[in-house]
Amino acid sequence: MKTQLEPISGLDPLLSIEDLAEYLGVPVATIYDWRVDGKGPCGVRVGRHVKFTKRDVLAWIEAHRESRPGQLPESR
């Protein structure tokens, strides 16, 4: 059972790689592959672990939004 901790006021909650994979609906291995290829959202190192801020994940998602249906984002 996962324990949900209340985030400290003013700090972004941190997502684990597993949380991020679940949120995006992709396998954990895909997140690792994206990191190796420099394609995924930026992470935060906490010791040996990589965590992701909600802010970074949302910015990454927005940067990958299609400019029109079926069309790649303008920045690519």
48-75 residue pLDDT tens: 999 999 999 999 999 998 888 877 776 5
**In the numeric block, which tokens belong to residue 14?**
């941190």
Question: Which pLDDT does position 43 carry in this prediction?
Answer: 95
pTM of the predicted structure, to 2 decimals: 0.76
**Residue ranges of domains in the chain:** 14-63
Residue 60 and residue 71 in contact, taking contact as beta carbons nearer than 8 Å: no
Structure tokens at 33: 């592959």
45 φ/ψ angles, rounded to the nearest 5 degrees: -80, 125
The phi and psi torsions of 27 (rounded to 5 degrees) equal -65, 150
